[in-house]
Amino acid sequence: MPTDWTKPKQQGDLLQIAKSILLEPSGLTESDLHDTFGVMYAHRLDDADVYFQHTRNESWSLEEGIVKSGSFSIDQGVGVRAIYGDKTAFAYSDEINLPALLKSAKATRVIGPSGGKQALARTTSTPVANTLYSGLNPLDSLGPTEKIALLEAIERRAKARDPRIIQVMASLAGEFDVVLVMRANGLLAADIRPLVRVSVHVIAEQNGRRESGSAGGGARHDYGYFTSDLVNHWVDEAVDSALLNLESRPAPAGPMTVVMGPGWPGVLLHEAIGHGLEGDFNRKGSSAFAGRIGQRVAAKGVTVVDDGTLSGRRGSLNIDDEGTPTQCTTLIEDGILKGYIQDTLNARLMKMPQTGNGRRESFASLPMPRMTNTYMLAGKEDPQEIVASIKRGLYAVNFGGGQVDITSGKFVFSASEAYWVENGKIQYPVKGATIIGNGPESLKQVSMIGNDLKLDSGVGVCGKEGQSVPVGVGQPTLRIDGMTVGGTA
């Protein structure tokens, strides 16, 4: 990956830039923010914060050789939150000015009884030792002509690969996000978050049969991340997937051994395991992992972490949306449950450490515990030997959509690229395979862990309670015994 990024050197640089974008145009000062908390704390509160955000988004999409749609938007505003016990009051405004702040402060403080603090902590900034990504606006890193040329090059390469490719759809998206958060304890922190993504989708036709293939990726970077070699790799991946699907057969069904490939198949880990480890579900007792810290919840060798500190990764953040620096949190270690993903509210109520996982979709959303980059650490097995160990089973290389029930841990996932294996040999590609199981039980059935840990290419989006945030996933090759496969054969 490219590493020659221009970065703000320290948190002070981020703060100054964020203030110039979010506060100074409206004449707001740190003193005004402090006065806002004074209004709120006329009532008794346990916590409160103010969250400013300025976001610029663009997207370009090409179909049938034509850029058929494009969009550009600027969105900004401020969210004000007050907390008393386990109750939260929240108000937001798309206008950033002192009257809007004070109005929101008065509205949210009513959650607590009157007679609060008279003196509040003075401002202290959150130190960030190293920034994880560029502070430049990626939307300015390519001109319109160059963006269109990138999409056109994708279509040319895809169609040149094989005459069976009859349709190509490509998209380019970029985001420049500036946030500033102040908490009632005086903490003041900022972040500048670039995000870019390319998506490729192709349709192949042969003898009246049509199949599709998709690929793509992105990072917290500018458009310079998309080198010709990288984009061509994704185009080839999408084309190869579509052509492979033309040769696929109906998937067998029933209980069997399943080997999952490295990288993006970690989305199953994210959905089936990760959400169940978020603090709010465990505080409320609705997760299958509630009250089980210190217990064995997975096979020996299974170690799962959530790491928001990986340089340039889609799910990484310098600070979370409550101003807490992100960290690498070990959730499961050698099969033993070690902890949960926490924001400030649930950490306080559960008397557990914060983990830097308080995330929100925008200033108009409440923060909640959310994953960043969640993945399983590598083991010692050779991936080829893992596949060769299958007597009769499925080798799932890539996954599409899925769903999970947090309370029971049950999940259903569709495999977008999978192969039938007999006696250690790949026989043929299959279509229509769904992986059905229970997250906690599946962890116990892991029998082999590869030495080939891989993270996804930068396409993950996580949904929770109507909010979407960018995330990363990953895992090594895994063998899981006794899985249920729903198929079409």
* Residues 275-288: tens digit of each pLDDT: 999 999 999 999 99
Q: What angle do CA 284, 288, 292 make, to 5 degrees?
A: 85
Question: Is residue 434 over pLDDT 80?
Answer: yes
Question: Is residue 335 over pLDDT 90?
Answer: yes
Question: Is residue 474 over pLDDT 70?
Answer: yes
Rounded distance between C-alpha atoms, residue 442 and residue 436, angstroms: 10
- Least Cα distance to 181 among 36, 369, 342 occurs for 36
- Least Cα distance to 294 among 334, 346, 354 occurs for 334
State the average pLDDT over residues 245-270: 94
Question: Is residue 187 over pLDDT 80?
Answer: yes
Summarised one tens digit per residue, pLDDT across range 78-120 is: 999 999 999 999 999 999 999 999 999 999 999 999 987 766 7
The better pLDDT of the pair 379, 487 is held by 379
Question: Is residue 5 over pLDDT 90?
Answer: no
Mean of all residue pLDDT scores within the chain: 93
Question: Is residue 389 over pLDDT 60?
Answer: yes
**30 Cβ contact partners less than 8 Å away, ≥ 6 residues apart:** 123, 182, 188
Rounded distance between C-alpha atoms, residue 51 and residue 191, angstroms: 11
Summarised one tens digit per residue, pLDDT across range 112-168 is: 999 877 667 777 766 565 689 988 899 999 999 999 999 999 999 999 999 999 999
Joined together, the tokens standing for residue 300 give 């020996």
Q: Which of 104-118, 201-215, 379-393 has the lowest mean pLDDT?
A: 104-118
State the average pLDDT over residues 213-227: 97
Q: According to the model, what pLDDT value does residue 4 have?
A: 35
Supply the DSSP string of 419-440, one letter for each residue.
Answer: EEEETTEEEEEEES-EEEEEHH
- Least Cα distance to 215 among 226, 200, 227 occurs for 200
Joined together, the tokens standing for residue 327 give 């960290």
Question: Is residue 1 over pLDDT 50?
Answer: no
Question: Residue 487: what residue type?
Answer: G
- Least Cα distance to 211 among 368, 371, 417, 378 occurs for 417
Dihedral Cα 124, 126, 129, 130, nearest 10 deg: -130
The two beta strands, 461-464 and 187-206, are unpaired
Rounded distance between C-alpha atoms, residue 459 and residue 104, angstroms: 35
